């Protein structure tokens, strides 16, 4: 039954007539498809059609933002069942490149200084679309390991969204931090790449804020664990080891210059509490794991 429904929805989504009624039908079809994440569908039943929909939009911009995002949500949602789709998503239709463009376009049109009463009244369309894209990126990062060099550029874009949102859109900030954690935990992204993306620098800046809540503090520490551990591991290859030492020196100098070293060290007193409350990360929460003592 699910295969029949997907085939019918794709047939509607492939319509090309340029009128309001058809555009609405296409949008509703893609929105419906985006809710198929928990249902397995054979690749042969959708892959050519969804690729055509994405490629056609790249050339003609015929879809609304929500329709285009829904097409990606459907495609990335299939990764849970079929990892062979990684090559298509990364190398053929270039998810990272499209996600970067969409984040930057949405950020450009966002009213980042909306008043609280306005936000309670009605969330902007741009904010909703940004949240949806961040959720789609999260799914992609969780289930796809075939990343290319554009992943660093994608993290750069997420850093920009965080910086723009931090004073007035806490939910968006929380989504960004979760994405940083996902990237930092991957073996496919180097500590050097994270530094170039601006994510580490952002975390070190934010961790000093007096208004930082407990949940975000924990998230920042969890982010720092992985790249700092990577910097501690000695490399057998002499060139790689020299590169690692040089990177450690740059990080240490940056922390010392901005006053981050003392700040991170000052968290020593709360590590025991963190171990008690978050036993799943207890083995990693040691002061020696952090950049200051790496």
Domain boundaries, the chain: 190-294
Average pLDDT over residues 207-224: 69
User: Which pLDDT score is estimated for 210?
Assistant: 56
Task: Give the model's pLDDT for residue 94.
Answer: 95
Q: Tell which residue, 3, 56, 62, 9, has the closest CA to residue 32.
A: 9
Average pLDDT (201-229) is 70
pLDDT recorded at residue 136? 95
Query: What's the pLDDT band for 167 if we cut at 50, 70, 90?
Result: confident
pTM comes to 0.78
Q: Are 114 and 156 in contact (CB under 8 A)?
A: no
Q: Please state the rounded mean pLDDT for residues 240-244.
A: 69
Q: Is the pLDDT of residue 59 over 60?
A: yes
With a cut of 90, say whether residue 202 has pLDDT above it: no
Mean pLDDT score of the chain, rounded to an integer?
79
**pLDDT band at 124, cuts 50/70/90?**
confident
Query: Does residue 12 register a pLDDT over 50?
Result: yes
| Residue 247 in this model has a pLDDT that exceeds 80 | no
pLDDT greater at residue 112 or residue 169: 169
């Amino acid at each position: 039954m699910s295969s029949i429904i997907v085939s019918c929805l794709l047939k509607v989504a492939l319509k090309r007539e340029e009128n309001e009624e058809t555009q609405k039908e296409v949008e509703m079809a893609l929105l419906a498809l985006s809710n198929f994440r928990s249902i397995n569908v054979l690749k042969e039943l959708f892959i050519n059609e969804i690729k055509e929909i994405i490629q056609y939009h790249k050339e003609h911009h015929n879809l609304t933002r929500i329709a285009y995002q829904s097409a990606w949500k459907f495609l990335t949602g299939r990764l849970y069942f079929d990892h062979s789709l990684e090559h298509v998503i990364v190398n053929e239709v270039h998810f990272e490149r499209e996600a970067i463009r969409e984040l930057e376009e949405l950020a450009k049109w966002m009213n980042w200084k909306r008043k609280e009463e306005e936000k309670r009244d009605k969330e902007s369309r741009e904010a909703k679309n940004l949240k949806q894209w961040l959720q789609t990126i999260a799914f992609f990062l969780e289930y796809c390991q075939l990343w290319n060099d554009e992943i660093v550029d994608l993290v750069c874009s997420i850093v920009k969204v965080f910086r723009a949102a931090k004073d007035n859109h806490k939910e968006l900030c929380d989504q960004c931090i979760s994405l940083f954690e996902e990237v930092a935990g991957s073996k496919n992204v180097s500590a050097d790449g994270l530094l170039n993306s601006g994510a580490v620098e952002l975390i070190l800046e934010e961790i000093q804020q007096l208004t930082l809540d407990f949940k975000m503090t924990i998230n920042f520490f969890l982010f720092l664990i992985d790249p700092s551990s990577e910097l501690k591991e000695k490399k057998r290859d002499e060139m790689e080891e020299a590169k690692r030492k040089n990177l450690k020196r740059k990080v240490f100098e940056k922390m010392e210059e901005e006053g981050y070293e003392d700040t991170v060290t000052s968290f020593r007193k709360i590590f025991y509490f963190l171990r008690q409350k978050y036993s799943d990360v207890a083995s990693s929460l040691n002061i020696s794991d952090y950049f200051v003592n790496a």
